[in-house]
Amino acid sequence: MNLILLGPPGAGKGTQAKRLEEKFKIIQLSTGDMLRAAIASGSDVGLKAKSIIDSGGLVSDDIMVQMISERVDQDDCKNGFILDGFPRTVAQAEALDVMLAEKGLKIDHVIELKVDESILFDRIRTRIAETPEAERRSDDTEETLRTRLQVFKEQTAPIIPYYADRGALKSVDGMASITEVSGQIDAIVAA
Ligand code: ADP
């Protein structure tokens, strides 16, 4: 089973992806985590990505599509994967369709976590406060969050109608408790 989780920064994609990983023995592919690992390793991609991420912008579609394409080919994705943070632009969504078709794969469910913008600031503020400074993400600041939300609205939100038009989109109430959101997601994947 292959899934896409959609939603703004702080919507809870990572939390739900981790749970789905356990429950269905499929792999979470978080492009944010993959980019942070690339930065930590000092690779070319990491070097290019660091300043873009810290400013709240988006890494180029080409790099991201390539990164995901190589990752889904690996053995541990055989059972399925959860895309978290990808696609983030309509161009990435289009490239994903082509790439998966070439590999003979498809997405089974596109799940949108709907959350009001007003609570996202509170959630990220809490995440910042609860994370020891040494472990804090360099893009988890209020200023960067403002940019990330703006970028989400301008570049990522248009992929919601992209999937809705294809009849692939299911929405859940991301404001509900973690357990309730999990329940709503389980009902979608069981259907
Ligand atoms: P969040 O969901 O909290 O916004 P992520 O951990 O998913 O954060 O991503 C952090 C940053 O990594 C993004 O702000 C962006 O700069 C970069 N990034 C992650 N995924 C993509 C992608 N698919 N395309 C372009 N940039 C990406």
Residue 170 burial by Cβ neighbours in a 10 Å radius (0-12, 13-18, 19+)? middle
- Residue 100: its pLDDT value, please? 98
Considering only CA atoms, which of 184, 178, 170, 173 is closest in space to residue 3? Answer: 170
H/E segment holding residue 66: helix 61-72
Report the atom number in ligand 1 closest to the C-alpha of 92. Answer: 23
Cα 171 to averaged position of ligand 1 atoms, centre (Å): 21
Distances (CA, A) of 144 to 32, 62, 63, 139: 14, 23, 22, 6
Distance CA(87)–CA(44), nearest Å, equals 21
- Can you name the residues that pair with 84 across neighbouring β-strands? 5, 30
Q: In DSSP terms, which residues pair with 88 in a beta bridge?
A: none
CB distance 86 to ligand 1 below 6 Å: yes
d(CA 58, CA 181): 27
pLDDT above 90 for 85: yes
Percent of the chain topping pLDDT 90: 84
149 lines ligand 1 (CB under 6 A): no
pLDDT tens digits, one per residue of 104-143: 999 999 999 999 988 888 888 888 889 998 888 888 888 8
Per the prediction, the chain carries an average pLDDT of 95
Atom of ligand 1 at shortest distance to CA of 14? 2
> Residue 136: its pLDDT value, please?
87
pLDDT single digits (tens) 33-54? 999 999 999 999 999 999 999 9
Query: Edge to edge, what strands does the sheet with 169-173 contain?
Result: 27-30, 81-84, 3-6, 109-114, 169-173
Q: What is the pTM of this model?
A: 0.93
Return the residue whose CA atom lies nearest to atom 13 of ligand 1. 53
> 7 CA distance to ligand 1 centroid (A)?
12
Tell me what the mean pLDDT of segment 16-21 comes to.
97
